[in-house]
Structure 1
Amino acid sequence: MKKLALVALIVGLPLQAQENVLTFGIVPQQSAITLAKNWGPILQHLSEETGYKIVFRTAKDIPEFEQRVLKGEYDIAYMNPYHYTVFHQKPGYEAFAKQKDKLIRGIVITKSDSPIQDLKDLDGETLVFPSPAAFAASVVPRSSLQAMGITFTPQYVSSHDSVYINVAKDFFPAGGGIERTLNNTDPAVRSQLKVLWRTPGYTPHAFATHPALPPDVSAKIAEAMLALNDDSEGQALLGRIKFKGIEPAQDSDWDDVRALNITLLDKYLTP
């Protein structure tokens, strides 16, 4: 029962409204338990620095996360580049930071002992991806394969970790992911996989605040997050999520993603 209560809490079931409590939503690229383990100490530190109780939130899968962001359930959110371009329009999330000196690249992974040596070897296969709108792990690899004339059937699972497990267990010959989550996954799974191909690089995930969050609160959160760069304690916390640093960001930083003219989530923008 206690474990069920913990899972319910971290996937984002509503808490009773409390003064000085802020929700921080993390895109579910990995399991909720793994995300809580890696992000929890960071949010605890931010709570101590800002005076706000910053509560970890995620969702059971990426489509549910999209719904939660659309409804404005997170005061602060860490979302993929494409999600940001959509949810900046509605409900109006505003980016304030991103991973420092980083471009996000999708990867296509296979088993280490797989005979597959080239993307063309995937023609006619069923490939596994986290979700339709997972930007670097799904949208970019799928569009790249299609542009190369490679036909495939996409199969969607709940997270990046699920992709890696499915390929490691030979359920699918290949799948999409990103370097950071591959490096963060279970070492027993990681050791069975190799990177077959990398996509071009794009502006990485956005840290963004909900438009209803007062500007002074947003500024305080941004200041505390950027201060993680300044000492060994902050650097150690960032190391938990495989970040070398965080840097300020503005909305126009994601214009490279907008230039791709992705329309998968336009349904969220219609009245």
Structure 2
Amino acid sequence: MKKLVYIALLIFGLPIQAQDRVFTFGIVPQQSAITLAKNWGPILQHLSKETGYKIVFRTAKDIPEFEQRVLKGEYDIAYMNPYHYTVFNKKPGYQAFAKQKDKLIYGIIVTRTDSPIKGLKELDGETLVFPSPAAFAASVVPRSSIAAMGINFTPQYVSSHDSVYLNVSKGFFPAGGGIERTLNNTNSDVRDSLKVLWRTPGYTPHAFATHPSLPEAVRSKVVEKMLAMNNSKEGLALLERIKFKGLESAENSDWDDVRSLNITLLDSLLEP
């Protein structure tokens, strides 16, 4: 019945109360949809209960599809990588409100624990695996850093961070890019078979941001209740599921360190 009422309101152009709307929360697919839903689902259920709004989990099959969905404004709220935020803040205008507390994001290059590789120079001439061309810390920064060292390699892209770790653990590639949080979150059998060969410098982490069309009252309530998760055992336990120690307020300028890198990979998305 509620669905029929909602459709009728849409047809006849009558105002829809925020409580009657479904708000989508898009999560960048660094891991499989099943893993993301398992870890983020309880957080969004908690947020729905606390705000009084229905907030539902969404992701995409891979990062390029996620980029297209963010560009089209398909997510009311989104969790996106630092470079994505600098792009989608311009178009369609997502505005950051939070980030992981006391955290910088570091890219890592992983190899098997039994690999004889001891340094990056030993990867010269190899094919390395990455989650996507525009995955910031797991791909953009390590690729540019390795290339700047004069190390020649061929990048191979897969669908997620978990796919990188699985491919390296099975020996399909000698090394690959990721970040420590997703490595810690991946299957323990895979994680225990890998070691971190190298880390990038640290940058401002992923952004929680809202689409400009999200009503300000809804945005304010979401921001309030998300940050309030820091203040309860239940909230902190839920954040621990995604390896967060807490959340902190954020603003657009926090990602100026990423902007200073002048990355142009997704500039074509900003064209009219």
Judge same fold: TM > 0.5, yes or no. yes
Cα deviation, 1:214-235, whole Å, max 9, x if unaligned, reads 1111111000100000011101
How far, CA to CA, are the matches of 1:28 and 1:161 in structure 2?
10
Per-residue CA deviation, residues 114-152 of structure 1 (Å, 9 max, x unaligned), is: 000000000000000000000000000000001100000
- CA distance in 1 between counterparts of 2:64 and 2:35 reads 19
3-state SS of paired residue (1:141) = helix
Question: Match of 1:112, as an amino acid?
Answer: T
- The TM-score normalised by the length of structure 1 is 0.93
Q: Report the CA distance between 1:20 and its aligned residue.
A: 2.4
| Structure 2 Cα separation of the partners of residues 58 and 138 of structure 1 | 20
Distance 2:151 2:38 in 1: 38
* Higher CA-based Rg: 2
Unaligned runs of 5+ in 1: 1-15
Secondary structure class of the residue paired with 2:24:
strand
How many angstroms apart in 2 are the aligned matches of 1:218 and 1:124? 49
Distance 1:118 1:42 in 2: 39
Letter in 1 for 2:128: L
Gaps of at least 5 residues in structure 2 are 1-6, 11-15
What per-residue deviation string (whole Å, max 9, x for no partner) do you get for residues 228-267 of structure 1?
0001110100000000000000000000000000000000
Letter in 1 for 2:209: A
Whole-angstrom CA distance in 1 between matches of 2:157 and 2:74? 25
What's the TM-score, normalizing by structure 2? 0.93
- Aligned pair count reads 256
Displacement over 4 Å in runs of 4+: none
Report Cα offsets for 1:23-69 as digits up to 9, x if no partner. 00000000000000000000000000001000000000000000000
Spell out the pairing of 1:212-223 with structure 2 (5 A cutoff): 212-223=213-224
Counterpart-to-counterpart distance in 1, 2:270 and 2:238: 36
**1:241-256 pair list within 5 angstroms:** 241-256=242-257
Identity of aligned residues (%): 80
Look up the equivalent residue of 2:219 and give its one-letter code: S
Letter in 2 for 1:56: F
CA distance in 2, matches of 1:60, 1:118: 33
Separation in 1, partners of 2:233, 2:219: 24
Where does 1:75-114 land on structure 2 (aligned, <5 Å)?
75-114=76-115
